[in-house]
Amino acid sequence: MLDQVRLKMATSQSHSLVGLIKSSSNHIEFNYSESKHLPVNEFVTSPCICVGGYNWALEFFPRGLDSDEENKGTHVFLFLNLLSEMKDVSAEYSFNILDKTGKYLPLLKPIVQIFSSNSNSSDSKGCSISRDKLEARFCKDGMLVISFSIKVLSAPSEFLDQSSWLHHDVKKLWDRGERFDVTFEVEGEKISAHRFMLAARSPVFETELYGPMAEAKSSCIKIKDMKAEVFDALLRFVYTDNYDNFEKVLSIELVQDLFLAADRYALEKLQVLCQQRLWGALSVDTVLSTLIVAERLSSAWLKEKCLEFASMPENFTELALTEEYVQMVQSFPSLLIELRQQIQGSSGSKKQRISFAPVDVVIG
């Protein structure tokens, strides 16, 4: 229904007219009837949205952008913008729009973008739709209702790479093995830890260790469906907030298991680090198993990277002959459909190339 676009933002002017925008939780109402006469390249900004410790805003261009020569004046554009003074903030986001029947339809499917508030040269992602279609299907009583989802995937790289003296000191508790008050049994191996530390780092551990569950009263808790070395790596991360000390030791299969464990215990930063590691290690031997993990955990970013890699002709030729590919098709037929769509989309044989200065956009 909509075109996803990538372009460099032109110099634009923002309007904050009273009554143009209303917002609540994850919904924004744009007063389209009042804003549709704004000049090309001028936009309306939503109120500040705070997600993941960062401030965001939606920018709505009722008459498009100068950089879109073909569609300016005839299409509207919608972008997500980072307001906080940060660099390299990775976020996954999507937009939906309310039609005249009261149903939300996808406006922009989940995509991942690295945001930088102080860089004017970075590409921006967004979506566009023709004004005629917008007014016919979605504009009701002069209003447009947009719902959005924003999930911060990683903090700035400068922050993630910094050492923390606090975690260095806390790690000493683990290394010395003093005052442990809970023990976990994993594959017959016993691993001890501190309840307060686990509860402080993971809401799942907090519920298990201090809530009404049976584990709260037990001094030895059995962990099922997890390898001992994976659970050990997870606890080391809890104490150190650092992935480097064991990342090189774990095989890709174990990193996949660690990703699943991080999701199980709601350790978001560890999830991000595992995804980055799996992405960096993509190969013909690992891409399908990583794709399945991404599908199971609904990781749109990692899934997209796997599909891009697997759809390359030289890679797909090898993958299609493997037993793992056959098993994936049987167990996850939807992934085969998405992979075929990715292959068709990347071929470009049936696509028209449209130029949005200063970059090219391919629209099906």
Contact 158, 86 (CB under 8 A): no
Per-residue pLDDT of the chain (364 residues; tens, 9 = 90+): 333 333 333 334 444 333 344 433 478 888 899 888 888 888 898 888 888 777 888 999 998 887 766 767 789 999 998 887 776 788 888 999 999 999 999 998 888 787 876 544 335 678 889 999 999 999 999 999 999 988 887 654 444 444 455 666 677 777 777 788 899 999 999 999 999 999 999 999 999 999 887 666 777 899 999 999 999 999 999 988 877 656 667 899 999 999 999 999 999 889 988 998 898 889 999 999 999 999 999 998 899 899 999 999 889 999 999 999 999 999 999 999 999 888 887 654 433 332 222 222 232 3
Preceding omega of 333 cis (within 30 degrees of 0): no
Give domain status of residue 110, yes or no. yes
- Is residue 314 a part of any domain in this protein? no
DSSP H/E element including 133: helix 131-137
**Total domain count, the chain:** 1
**CA-to-CA distance for 36 and 16, rounded, in angstroms?**
14
- Is 115 domain-assigned? yes
Domain containing 131 — which CATH number? 2.60.210.10
Query: Is 49 part of any domain?
Result: yes
pLDDT score at 218 = 79
Any domain includes 167: no
Q: Which residues partner with 183 through β-bridges?
A: 192, 220
Structural domain contains residue 217: no
Residue range of the domain that includes 40: 3-154
Does residue 100 belong to any structural domain of this protein? yes
Distance CA 237, CA 225 (A): 19
Residue 148 within a domain:
yes
- CA separation, residue 235 to residues 39, 243, 262, 328, 349 (Å): 56, 11, 10, 31, 49
Instruction: Say if pTM beats, i.e. exceeds, 0.75.
Output: no
